[in-house]
Amino acid sequence: MKRGSVVCALCAAVVVLAAAVIAAEKTTAKPDFAKMDTNGDNKVDATEFDAYVVAYPELGLTKAVYDQWDVNKDGTVTHQEFEAWKPIEKGAKPAAAKKARKKSAKRAAK
């Protein structure tokens, strides 16, 4: 009986944890490049970024994030720059980020 309730408590803990993870994933909305690039030139400039920040305050985006995206510091964020940033943000290993960068460059070349 006692053992059963321990298992039950463990199950409840797992369920709560799973629910928390799902909730966290739902609330951690990710910036959407297509939504940011309102004029469709495949680049996000500061004006588009600012408008996106205002439209999606829950993302908590700041100018510092924009600066991170803008790898070559030309003042605009290309789709490749944005895609390259994403794996880094997720805590992936540099090799994975490099791979993603290569992949997105390949995609852009098409």
Chain positions contacting Ca ion, by CB under 5 A: 37, 39, 41, 43, 70, 72, 74
Minimum CB separation from Ca ion for residue 66, in Å?
10
Q: Which is nearer to Ca ion, 28 or 72 (CB)?
A: 72
In 3D space, the residue among 38, 36, 47 whose CA is nearest the CA of residue 81 turns out to be 36
3-state secondary structure (DSSP) of residue 64? helix
Q: Which is nearer to Ca ion, 28 or 39 (CB)?
A: 39
Minimum CB separation from Ca ion for residue 81, in Å?
5
Yes or no: say if 89 and 81 are a contact pair by the CB < 8 Å rule: no
Q: Which is nearer to Ca ion, 7 or 67 (CB)?
A: 67
